[in-house]
Amino acid sequence: MEYRIAGILLSEERLAERIREIGQQIGRDYAGKELVVIGILKGAVVFLSDLIRAVPPSVDISLDFMAVSSYGDSTKTSGIVRIVKDLDGSIKDKEVLIVEDIVDTGLTLSYLVKMMQERQPRSVRVCALLDKEERRKVHVDVDYRGFAIPDEFVVGYGLDYGGRWRHLPAIHTVAQQ
């Protein structure tokens, strides 16, 4: 089955404006604190890069990354979370912010939050650029949310379909050809 770009859901300008707002909120919430920001590879990299630059210098940020898989080359999550790359460092007694590109069913994020909590951080919060609330299968708290979006498959700004279209500067919808 082939897919094509159908249209723009969120423009570069809307993304930039909202990310600045989230960065400022994180700055207020973590002012004077050390914060471990955990980017979920590969989809969150573009968002993460812009987000941390929007956080004021009053927050001492360190970065770590995890890679998980629940989609493969499909447009639907399998519900099975596979850890491809784990954290490089300990998060014990640290403030942790998980940065995710999109929350869909909540299964992957719920699994990640539980896994992080088992490592005994001081706190774990979640920041997601996109949220498909209507697809949620399990409750998950998203502390910082960029945009609620409809149940459409989207690409661009780090999100992909089979490795394609991550480089697009806006969020686009995808349709079958």
- Whether residue 3 lies inside any domain: the answer is no
Whether residue 162 is contained in a domain is answered as: no
CATH code where residue 65 lies: 3.40.50.2020
Domain that holds residue 72: 11-150
Domain count of the fold of the chain: 1
Q: What is the pLDDT of residue 82?
A: 83
* Residue 104 annotated to the active site: yes
Specify if 77 maps to a domain: yes
DSSP string, 94-135: SEEEEEEEEESSSHHHHHHHHHHHHT--SEEEEEEEEE-GGG
Q: Decide if 4 is inside a domain.
A: no
- Say which residues have a Cβ less than 8 Å from residue 110's Cβ, sequence separation at least 6: 138, 139, 140
155 token code pair: 């690409």
| Cα(86)–Cα(102) distance, integer angstroms | 19
73: Cα separation from own chain's centroid:
18
The confidence score (pLDDT) of residue 79 equals 60
Strand order in the sheet with 95-103: 82-85, 60-69, 34-41, 95-103, 123-131, 144-148
pLDDT of residue 2: 86
For residue range 47-74, list pLDDT tens digits in order: 999 999 999 999 999 999 999 876 555 4
Tens place of pLDDT per residue across the chain (177 aa): 788 999 999 999 999 999 999 999 999 999 999 999 999 999 999 999 999 999 999 999 999 999 987 655 545 555 677 899 999 999 999 999 999 999 999 998 999 999 999 999 999 999 999 999 999 999 999 999 999 999 999 999 999 988 899 999 999 999 987
Report whether 1 contacts 176 (CB < 8 A). Answer: yes
**pTM, whole model, 2 decimals?**
0.92
pLDDT for the residue 131: 97
Strands 123-131 and 144-148, sheet pairing: parallel
Cα 136 versus chain centre, distance: 15
- Going by their DSSP bridges, the two strands 95-103 and 82-85 should be labelled as unpaired
Dump pLDDT digits (tens) for 152-174.
999 999 999 888 999 999 999 99
Rounded-to-integer distance, Cα 144 and Cα 136, Å: 17
Instruction: Tell whether 6 is covered by a domain.
Output: no
The per-residue pLDDT for 71 is: 54
CA neighbor of 81 nearest in space, from 140, 35, 124, 134: 140
Nearest to 43 by CA among 173, 159, 169: 159
Candidate list 104, 131, 141, 160, residue with the active-site label: 104
Residue 41 lies in a domain: yes
* Three-class DSSP category at 73: coil
**Residue position matching structure tokens 């590109």:** 101
